[in-house]
Amino acid sequence: MLRSRFAARHRRARPTERCYTSPMSHAKNTAILLVDCPDRKGLVAAVAEFLYTHNANILHADQHQDAERNVFLMRVEWDLTGFAFDLADFPKVFGPIAERYSLRWRLEQSARRPRLALFVSKYDHCLSDLLYRHQSGELACDIPLIVANHPDAERWAKFHGIPFHVLPVNAKNKEQAEAEQIRLCKDHGVDLVVLARYMQILSPRFVAEFPMKVINVHHSFLPAYVGAKPYHRAYERGVKLIGATSHYVTDHLDEGPIIEQDVMRVSHRGRDAGVAPRHAGGFVDEGAGPGAERALAGGAVAHRPPHPGVW
């Protein structure tokens, strides 16, 4: 049953045309302000009044207050038509309010498409799913390159017309390989690195080059089963739910802030039916991964460890 579902999923995921940049289903000209700060009265009023004063038409507004940590999170999106000043001046104009309320903020534009680098090893189900969603326009981003430490997934890169770089990694050449990976990402103006079943542990040096800009799609429902072969260990433990987690990469293995998760039910019959744990896990990998990338591409994640705000 699981095997047939897996095959059906990938029959549906065959794009009809190749593309490098995915089409957008609808073009928007909006700005997105993401805020986090110590909680206090008047925050919503201050931001809303600032935008109203400068002729902003607010389209979406979300906020959350974490009483335990005394943290306030906010996401506001507004139409830029008729907005009173150029966004290049936003830091200067918004600065007094940010200083008054101790706001940590960042500004995104819907018209600017983030650039993603996809990293992969041998298992290609996450990669193929992300590429299909990108091609269909579901992921509003650009993918200028795919980096791999094995050649197995190159067929997907060729099919979608995306440059594919194979950089083998072992204990002796890891430092040099990562230096080349960093160079490629910077040369291509990458905003976000997505580890789509890339089965190498990134060094602190790599993580430091892209702080809070590397996402791992880990094939377990974290914090359970950190590290390699989580589904095998879950099966040996007899769990009835397996999962996948998209999280930021930090220096601590599989402990970065969680962005998205998905689960599915399994039973002891999976092994008897000849379904390897990784095949069942493919379904939830493909749920947790795109969810995180969609949120980040849409400016919907407020970077506030250990609980990022995901709108």
Annotated active-site positions, please?
254
Are 219 and 142 spatial neighbours (Cβ–Cβ below 8 Å)?
A: no
Cα–Cα dist 298/311, whole Å:
10
Handedness of CA 132, 133, 135, 139 (dihedral sign): negative
Helix (H) or strand (E) holding 144: strand 142-148
Tokens of 138: 């579901």
Torsion of CA 170, 173, 175, 178, to 10 degrees: -70
Tokens of 91: 């830091």
Residue 28, φ and ψ in degrees, nearest 5 = -125, 150
Tokens of 251: 């220096």
Cα–Cα dist 222/236, whole Å:
17
